[in-house]
Amino acid sequence: MDSNQPILAPSILAADYTRLGAEIAKCDQADIKWLHCDIMDGHFVPNISYGPAVVAAASRSTSAFIDVHLMIENPDDYIQAFVDAGADQITVHQEACPHLHRTIQTIHSHDISAGVAINPATSLHVLEPVLNDIELALVMSVNPGFGGQSFINTTYNRLQHLRDMREQYNANFYIEVDGGVNPDNIQKVTHAGADVLVAGSAVFKAPNIPKRINELRKRAQSGREMIA
Ligand SMILES: O=C(CO)[C@@H](O)[C@H](O)COP(=O)(O)O
């Protein structure tokens, strides 16, 4: 973790796929640092999104850090494919990984960052054994599978709790939040402790994408500054 500024990570799940390069170029106009790619398999989550070919196309069209979120069963089988597609970080779900340390080691063996995501109903304590092994913990603020859902309000307390756990364990990972982040709640989300904000609909459904990104970032920063 090397930044005290919140990072906005637009999720291309909500982009217009007929013009993906142009949509990403609009994000680049606002100088995005991360781009979030949501992979859904129709098994771990009840929806199918896209695969490595789309991640490779996204990666070719931007110099942003490619943040890949695998909402899939058996993620170990697909790590190499997403590394080849240009992933700079791969996040797997704790709920999908019976051998979580091994999966994290496999991701690290490719010299990229490793993240672990948890669903809204999963206890934060499942992360304790790996808190010192990861670069990112992703707290889902919706049940994964679909964009455009409403933010679950219990997430605020979970973010605060995870921030405390990070301190307690003297760990050094980003806290990312994903699902239903918008201009109305983003300040509260960063105030609660999130470092990385994934936003799909709030970015790509906006009439002016660069302007919306700048607005979200500004509000995120003001929430961060409110932390004592
Ligand atoms: O990954 C998921 C859900 O599984 C989504 O949460 C998107 O990553 C963000 O979409 P919005 O909620 O911002 O539309």
Domain ranges for the chain, please list them: 7-225
Answer whether 47 contacts ligand 1 (Cβ < 6 A): no
User: Active site includes 195?
Assistant: no
Q: Alpha-carbon distance 130 to 172, whole Å?
A: 11
- Whether pLDDT at 228 is above 60: no
Cβ of 47: how many Cβ atoms within 10 Å? Answer: 15
Ligand 1 atom at minimal distance to the Cα of residue 71: 4
Give pLDDT, residue 205: 98
Nearest Cα neighbor of 34 from 54, 56, 64, 13 is: 64
- Whether pLDDT at 1 is above 90: no
Give pLDDT, residue 39: 98
CA of 200 to the centre of ligand 1 (A): 6
Give pLDDT, residue 226: 84
Structural fold of domain 7-225: TIM Barrel (3.20.20)
Among the listed residues 38, 41, 67, 195, the single catalytic one is 38
Among the listed residues 41, 67, 178, 195, the single catalytic one is 178
Cβ of 16: how many Cβ atoms within 10 Å? Answer: 11
User: Active site includes 184?
Assistant: no
- Whether pLDDT at 149 is above 90: yes
58 token code pair: 């996204």
Backbone CA torsion sign across 175, 189, 153, 207 = negative
CA of 180 to the centre of ligand 1 (A): 6
Answer whether 9 contacts ligand 1 (Cβ < 6 A): no
210 token code pair: 């660069």
Answer whether 13 contacts ligand 1 (Cβ < 6 A): yes
- Whether pLDDT at 208 is above 70: yes
Q: Tell me: the pLDDT tens digits for 104-148?
A: 999 999 999 999 999 999 999 999 999 999 999 999 999 999 999
Reading across the β-sheet that carries 65-71, which strands appear in turn? 7-10, 196-199, 174-178, 136-140, 113-118, 89-93, 65-71, 34-40
Alpha carbon separation from 97 to 44, 92, 178 (Å, rounded) = 11, 8, 19
34, 142, 150, 186, best to mutate for ligand 1 pocket (most atoms within 8 Å of CB) = 142
Ligand 1 atom at minimal distance to the Cα of residue 151: 12
Query: What three-state secondary structure class fits 211?
Result: helix
CA of 142 to the centre of ligand 1 (A): 8
Give pLDDT, residue 54: 98
Question: What are 114's strand-pairing partners?
Answer: 90
- Whether pLDDT at 188 is above 90: yes
pTM over 0.95: yes
Q: Tell me: the pLDDT tens digits for 44-96?
A: 999 999 999 999 999 999 999 999 999 999 999 999 999 999 999 999 999 99
Q: What is the mean pLDDT of the chain?
A: 97
Q: Tell me: the pLDDT tens digits for 6-24?
A: 999 999 999 999 999 999 9
Please tell me whether 145 is known to bind a ligand: yes
Answer whether 38 contacts ligand 1 (Cβ < 6 A): yes
Cβ of 63: how many Cβ atoms within 10 Å? Answer: 10
- Whether pLDDT at 3 is above 70: no
- Whether pLDDT at 2 is above 70: no
CB distance 160 to 168 below 8 Å: no
**Helices within the chain (DSSP H only):** 20-29, 52-60, 79-84, 100-108, 155-168, 186-192, 201-204, 209-225
Give pLDDT, residue 4: 77
Inter-axis angle of helices 209-225 and 20-29, nearest 10: 50
- Whether pLDDT at 193 is above 60: yes
